[in-house]
Amino acid sequence: MDENVRDIANDFALITSEAADLMAKMNDDDSDVSIEAFKDTMESLELMIKEKGDVVVAVDEKILNEIKDVKDHIEYYQNLKRSWENRQRYFHDRISYAMDQAGITKVSTEHKRSIYISPNGGAQPIEINEDEIGEEYYKLEKVLDKKKIREDLEAGKEVKGAKLLPRGRHLVIK
């Protein structure tokens, strides 16, 4: 499919380039292209562009369908992964609970494997009641107000360290 997509895009670019070149020749005062030859060639190129346009739309729809299929597969496998993670969490919780109830801290299997409950690493958890915490425990953050910067730039004000960039553009195929 990749080769086909490249070929179609290249063919479309070639045809539109030929049309642009022909238009440039007609606008050139030194051109030896007759009006009749220009019209015939432009009609032919316009027909080829329309035909290739239909192919472009069809290929784009196929690509969009492939993207949707991949998204569906990703969603399916994400859900499957989540399901297995939940099963493992439940399984570990049940084994942990059973070991706690029995007062067992470690099990060594016949195949030299181990099952034991280990304390979590990292910082010890804390419980915080924000209503009772003093001001010395709060941080002040310096945050740019990008909305205000944009508004000032759009209003014509100069903002040191910022400037409006040209808008991007994209191809639409309907």
Percent of the chain with pLDDT over 70: 96
**If you average pLDDT over residues 112-137, what whole number do you get?**
90
Residue 63 falls in which region: left (phi positive, over 0), alpha (psi -120 to 50) or beta:
alpha
Q: What is the pLDDT of residue 3?
A: 66
How many Å apart are CA 35 and CA 30, to the nearest integer? 14
How many Å apart are CA 107 and CA 98, to the nearest integer? 12
Q: What is the pLDDT of residue 23?
A: 82
Q: Which two tokens stand for residue 84?
A: 């297995």
**If you average pLDDT over residues 126-141, what whole number do you get?**
91
Q: What is the residue extent of each domain of the chain?
A: 2-116
Cα–Cα distance list, 131 to 124, 127, 134, 135 (Å): 21, 12, 8, 10
Q: Which two tokens stand for residue 107?
A: 């099990």
Residue type, 37: A
**If you average pLDDT over residues 22-35, what whole number do you get?**
75
- Per-residue pLDDT band for 2 (boundaries 50, 70, 90) equals low
Q: What is the pLDDT of residue 44?
A: 87
Q: What is the mean pLDDT of the chain?
A: 89
2-27 and 35-102 helices cross at what angle (nearest 10)?
Answer: 150
Q: What is the pLDDT of residue 164?
A: 93
